[in-house]
Amino acid sequence: MSTKIFTYLSLIFVLGLVSCLPKQNPENKDHLVLIETSEGFIKIKLFQETPQHRDNFIKLVNASYYNGTLFHRVMHEFMIQGGDPDSKFAKAGETLGNGGPGYTIPAEFQAHLFHKKGALAAARERDKVNPERRSSGSQFYLVQGKKFSDEELDRVELRINDMLKQAAFFRFIEEEKAAAINNGEDVDMSKIQEIASLRAEEEFINMQAYKIPVEQREVYKTLGGTPHLDQNYTVFGELVEGLDVLDKIAAVDTDDKNRPLKDVRIISIEIVKN
């Protein structure tokens, strides 16, 4: 066989192999965002497993929505919260935390995405007015938290299960109210609450009680976090650089509403390449 024919056949073979390789989907690439704050830089990776939160955050970042906003709620050994557009020009001492783009996002809970230190999660309204636990359209928080012992984590498990039962109770209230209205019946709240309570108890009995996975327990004992928020608030990213800046912001002095006495501002957020 001539060298020319051999080379030609080899090229066909190589091209055939390349065509069989899995194609790269741009949607599977990690999205990194760089947050420049008045206290330093923070870099965050957005999770692919929470696409609605990821895409919404990217949309707002590209629209410069967060530029100039404040970390308006800061709690040491808990979290730092931002994303309220009303904070851009807020006066000192003004109450913040009610602003947003006018929509919410469906919850995207994932068992393996949890509230370890550095986790990025979406803020939301309470279960009583938000039984589906939908996320704020723009407000988010970064977890600082603290380290936990096994005994403390056991108590957290009880607390989480109580919150899950309470969330079911409020969800069933809304369902029973809707059913009564659809059937043309009077909305008897005492009766509805009684039925909702029974349904929540029955659901809780039939479901397996929530347990913190062993590997997550180890993270909470060594790195720290806020485990009582797991499966209640959507985690959609994690900090990959800037833990020192997170700790610095979490340590600032605040007023009785947890707003920093000296503004901690988000100067800009931008999407960065891997």
Q: pLDDT tens-digit profile of 74-113?
A: 999 999 999 999 999 999 989 999 999 999 999 999 999 9
Residue 20 lies in a domain: no
Mean pLDDT computed over every residue of the chain: 89
The number of distinct structural domains making up the chain is 2
CA distance linking residue 61 with residue 208, whole number of Å: 39
Residue 16 lies in a domain: no
Same domain for 58 and 119, yes or no, is yes
Residue 215 contacts by C-beta under 8 Å, 6 or more apart in sequence? none
Same domain for 136 and 58, yes or no, is yes
Q: Which residue has the higher pLDDT, 9 or 48?
A: 48
Residue 269 contacts by C-beta under 8 Å, 6 or more apart in sequence? 33, 34, 35, 36, 61, 66, 67
Given this model, what pLDDT does residue 175 score? Answer: 85
Give pLDDT tens digits for 170-214.
888 888 888 888 888 888 888 888 888 888 888 777 777 889 999
CATH code, domain carrying 252: 2.40.100.10
Same domain for 141 and 156, yes or no, is no
Same domain for 170 and 245, yes or no, is no
Q: Is the confidence at residue 18, as pLDDT, over 80? A: no
Same domain for 171 and 240, yes or no, is no
Same domain for 162 and 190, yes or no, is yes
Q: Is the confidence at residue 25, as pLDDT, over 50? A: no
**Which whole-number Å values give the CA distances from 94 to 91, 132, 263, in the listed order?**
6, 30, 12
Q: Is the confidence at residue 12, as pLDDT, over 60? A: no
Same domain for 193 and 117, yes or no, is no
Q: Is the confidence at residue 236, as pLDDT, over 60? A: yes
Residue 35 lies in a domain: yes
Same domain for 65 and 165, yes or no, is no
**CA angle, 151 then 154 then 158, to 5°:** 145
pLDDT category at 274 given cuts 50, 70, 90 is: low
Domain range for 64 is: 26-147+223-272
Same domain for 178 and 246, yes or no, is no
| DSSP letters spanning 127-142 | TTT-TT-PEESS-EEE
**Which whole-number Å values give the CA distances from 270 to 31, 39, 41, 125, in the listed order?**
11, 17, 11, 27
pLDDT category at 14 given cuts 50, 70, 90 is: very low
Residue 201 lies in a domain: yes
Q: Is the confidence at residue 16, as pLDDT, over 90? A: no
